[in-house]
Amino acid sequence: MRLVQYSFFLMMIILSSVSLAAVQDAPAVKLPTANGQVDLTSLKGKVVYLDFWASWCKPCKESFPWMHEMKATYKDKGFEVLAINLDKERKLADEFLEGMDVNFVIAFDESGDTAAEYKLRGMPSSYMIGRDGKLYASHIGFREKDKVKMEEVIKQLLEQ
């Protein structure tokens, strides 16, 4: 238990622009994908980087190569990326994804209900979910300077 408390303290130090959320269960996610449906509960036991994005969001476009890299680097350690599109029209999301190298699940939340459950405050917004299905950290925006900090959180959660 002390190791877990130490890990939380260390994550709080690492995260200056990534806010540590109160540890609570991650809100449910059950959304359509291009190949069926994704349910967040099926990812329990993995560390999940949950990302909300839209076609009009310039930082979102910049985040996709980084999410691809993180998935490729840590997939064998139990890491998943779930990117949830918030466009009202699926066609806009499909156009955004053209030419993108995506190795993670893309889900569609046209109603915005899932985003509301996560109390989305900006775009893109990301949430770190531990193997236990609980929220550990959140981050608004995507900036080059934050990539190292976000990767440190991924590593910390993978070690737990």
pLDDT of residue 21: 47
pLDDT along the chain (160 residues), means of 10: 41 42 82 94 96 96 96 98 96 94 96 94 94 93 93 94
CB neighbours (10 Å) of residue 18?
A: 20
Tokens at residue 41, please? Answer: 């509960």
pLDDT of residue 46: 97
pLDDT of residue 22: 47
pLDDT of residue 3: 42
User: What is the DSSP annotation of 73-128?
Assistant: HHGGGTEEEEEEE--SSHHHHHHHHTT----SEEEE-TT-HHHHHTT--SSSEEEE
pLDDT of residue 54: 97
Domains in the chain (CATH in brackets) are: 2-159 (3.40.30.10)
pLDDT of residue 14: 39
CB neighbours (10 Å) of residue 32?
A: 14
**Can you give the pTM of this predicted structure?**
0.85
